[in-house]
Amino acid sequence: SAQSQKTNNPFQTKVDSILKLMTLEEKLGQLNLPSSGDITTGASQSSNVAKNIEEGKVGGLFNIKTVAKIREVQQIAMEKSRMKIPLLFGMDVIHGYETTFPIPLGLSATWDMDMIEKTARMAAQEATADGINWTFSPMTDISRDPRWGRVSEGSGEDVYLGSRIAEAMVKGYQGDDLTLNNTMLACVKHFALYGAPDAGRDYNTVDMSKIRMYNEYLGPYKAAVDAGVASVMAAFNEIDGVPATGNKWLLTDLLREDWGFNGFVVTDYTGIEEMMYHGIGDFQEVSARALKAGSDMDMVSEGFLTTLKKSYEEGKVSMADIDTAVGRILTAKYQIGLFDDPYKYCDLDRPAKEIFTPENRAFARKVSSESMVLLKNDNNLLPLKKSGTIALIGPLSNDALNMAGTWSVATKQEKSSPLLEGLKTVAGKNVTILQAKGSNVDYDLDYEKRVTMLGKEIPRDGRTDKQLLDEALAIAKKADVIVAALGETAEMSGESSSVTNLQIPQVQKDLLNALLKTGKPVVLVLFTGRPLAITEEDENVPAILNVWFPGSEAGLAISDVLFGDVNPSGKLTATFPMNVGQVPIFYNHKNTGRPLGNKEGKFEKFKSNYLDVRNEPLYPFGYGLSYTTFAYGNLKLTSNTLNANGTIEASVEVTNSGTYDGKEVVQLYIRDVVGSVTRPVKELKGFQKVLLKKGETKTISFSISEEDLKFYNNSLEFKAEPGTFQVFIGTDSNAELMQEFELK
């Protein structure tokens, strides 16, 4: 309960003593989180925000960067405001800071929890060196809809994998000790269900049953809370008809009472104001409703700052409501030691030593190469030889600005490694590399403008489509192999970048088809922030490497993989559909009462299938090839009976049966054959990423306990039910090796 959270708070006495000294206005100021706005280094004292800070009307700032600027701003709070309460400094540190890692969807494809944790650790190191002590990450929104642009910022469709990643990220940002100057407050978002908007349109209405919510969407948020995340961001969407920001069931009953969260809740950008558009009250009413629901800090709306006093006077909120929220903000400031040293993150010497260092960039390069997913590789076209002539063609073939992908506000865009440069560096001297743009991003200039915005420009080439194509075909003719760098630009996915067409833009498809017609072997290097419907490309292109948006070291990392210096090991964490009409499509669906009777996808009347496309996706969850091959065999269980509180081991032999050393993500899925409610056809319940030398065989074991079999039943009780379970282990979610056991 709220009371027990208070009594467990080691800083409560201090918080209470400060609260006693504060005016109502100052309290409301602590709940106010404006954007940094017009602050510029050296002139911060004269900004509007500065005036508000002086008056005690600001609890923290976000969207502010550089230690010098932050130090100046903190000084205003410490020297000019009456209460001298230090400010929080927040930022969207999402997938790295200046050293930028792959977009989160790509990062998740590494299936490497240590590596993911380390990316968050490194991001915290860099961000704190620059003065920042709070990141709005991790985003743990499960999504099954690739139309939604923000799939790029999440960890895919699976609640188990998403939960492990959420834990790793929180641990990475917050470390073991939040009082250190290189750890920072994490913020799990967007609580909750933001990844399931109707029709995949960002900010649209979300709706689902409680049982789906609990079993299929809430897990990763809860995992972050269990991992000790310091803050939670309320989602834009409604849940059961009530916007998350003002949803007491969500922010208090579930989050605090059931899950025991004791940090603070921040709204998303203008989340309070937006409740007026949702249609549940005027500004005063929605602000009061947000506070009473459990929102503690108001990002940008200034609803708390400007209306809560009136609501207090009218008895619509109590001083206890306000004190509870302020207490949570102050507690966070105590937690990270800001009251002891408001300038602890403001060491002017740190940035040069700790940010965007060669070491950090080397690590980013490694992470990027591990995130890439080899989707197709006919006749071992890849890896490329380090000899001969390569024609590198495509609108993304020599671009730096898009490499970091969406939501990388601190990235050094212009310093990102373009593919052309990376290819030259990694190829060495025996390779001739020719390059041409081949096409613009899109036939439609207006569309191209919309998807190359926010600094992620790709300059429109003034030549005609034909001129661009002719140039490309001319160099293609001189090459032994064509590398086509195509797909999305960074801003084609991400926030507010929902689409209804999941294909590569037509001009790029036309370019690709023209390149294929040359008869030269073509490798498609696919840039994307979402699962794309590349069904035609899969049919026609011999090799496809999905590189997502790889981050700062994009060009080098892609080249490492293309030339085989790194053997690709990424696995998809989101299903790639055959077409947009299959959406939502995900591996852990229910069986239905009329499942299709054949695996080939042949149409069967009066079964659950489509007339015009198979049920199976283009690439399933967990899918990804390697330059080597892996053979699975000898799946065994230590027992065919599992007793409550017992465990059984499932083991499988995995052999590297190909000609390269390589890493494999061994995946364990479980099916609960009969339930009191319908259960998915399988669910990921374990995975291990293992290195196998060529020819090597390893026995990989997983422990299974009753805990792994629990789910929320129709009464929302989290329980395992006795009966038969099937264990599948394999290379992706189509894993077929199977053994059964009984839970007693």
Q: Residues with catalytic annotation?
A: 268
Q: Give the pairing of strands 522-527 and 32-33.
A: unpaired
Q: Does 366 bind its own copies (CB under 8 A)?
A: no
Beta bridge pairs of residue 692: 662
Distance, in Å, from the CA atom of 547 to the CA atom of 5, rounded to the nearest integer, reads 44
Distance, in Å, from the CA atom of 538 to the CA atom of 523, rounded to the nearest integer, reads 11
By beta-carbon proximity to its own copies, the closer residue of 240 and 257 is 240
CA dihedral (58, 59, 62, 64) in degrees, to 10, reads 70
602: CB partners within 8 A, 6+ apart? none
Show the site string, 568-597: x = touches its own copies by CB under 8 A, - = not. Answer: ----------xxxxxxxx---xxxxxxx--
Q: Does 278 bind its own copies (CB under 8 A)?
A: yes
By beta-carbon proximity to its own copies, the closer residue of 351 and 595 is 595
Distance, in Å, from the CA atom of 441 to the CA atom of 352, rounded to the nearest integer, reads 36
Q: Does 299 bind its own copies (CB under 8 A)?
A: no
Q: Give the pairing of strands 718-719 and 711-712.
A: antiparallel
Q: Does 721 bind its own copies (CB under 8 A)?
A: no
Show the site string, 231-260: x = touches its own copies by CB under 8 A, - = not. Answer: -----xxx-xxxx-----------------
Q: Does 606 bind its own copies (CB under 8 A)?
A: yes
Q: Does 608 bind its own copies (CB under 8 A)?
A: yes
CB of 609 to its own copies, least distance (A): 7
Q: Which alpha helices (DSSP H) does 248-293 contain, by range? A: 248, 271-278, 283-293
Assigned token pair, 639: 């027992």
CB of 380 to its own copies, least distance (A): 33
Given the rule CB under 8 A, which of 224-232, 314-322, 558-566, 606-614 is the region that contacts its own copies? 606-614
Site for its own copies in 674-703 (CB under 8 A): 674-679
Q: Does 634 bind its own copies (CB under 8 A)?
A: no
By beta-carbon proximity to its own copies, the closer residue of 405 and 555 is 405
CB of 674 to its own copies, least distance (A): 6
- Binding residues for its own copies, how many (CB under 8 A)? 82
Assigned token pair, 28: 């409301």
By beta-carbon proximity to its own copies, the closer residue of 432 and 579 is 579
Site for its own copies in 497-526 (CB under 8 A): 497-502
Show the site string, 96-135: x = touches its own copies by CB under 8 A, - = not. Answer: ----------------------------------------
Secondary structure letter of residue 638 according to DSSP: S
CB of 149 to its own copies, least distance (A): 8
Count Cβ atoms within 10 A of the Cβ of residue 542 and give its class: 0-12 exposed, 13-18 middle, 19 or more buried.
Answer: middle
Radius of gyration from C-alpha coordinates of the chain: 26
Q: Are 364 and 403 in contact (CB under 8 A)?
A: no
Given the rule CB under 8 A, which of 73-81, 103-111, 275-283, 325-333 is the region that contacts its own copies? 275-283
Query: 3-class DSSP state for residue 741?
Result: strand
CB of 495 to its own copies, least distance (A): 7
Site for its own copies in 132-171 (CB under 8 A): 147, 149
Show the site string, 445-464: x = touches its own copies by CB under 8 A, - = not. Answer: --x--xx-x-----------
Assigned token pair, 656: 């590297």
Secondary structure letter of residue 336 according to DSSP: T
Q: Are 529 and 548 in contact (CB under 8 A)?
A: yes
By beta-carbon proximity to its own copies, the closer residue of 282 and 736 is 282
Would you say the C-alpha torsion 651, 652, 655, 661 has a positive or negative sign? negative
Cα 675 → chain centroid: 32
Given candidates 48, 598, 634, 714, which one binds its own copies under the rule CB under 8 A?
714
Show the site string, 171-210: x = touches its own copies by CB under 8 A, - = not. Answer: ---------------------------xxxxxxxx-xxxx
The CA-atom distances, in angstroms, between 634 and each of 654, 699, 738 are 9, 9, 10
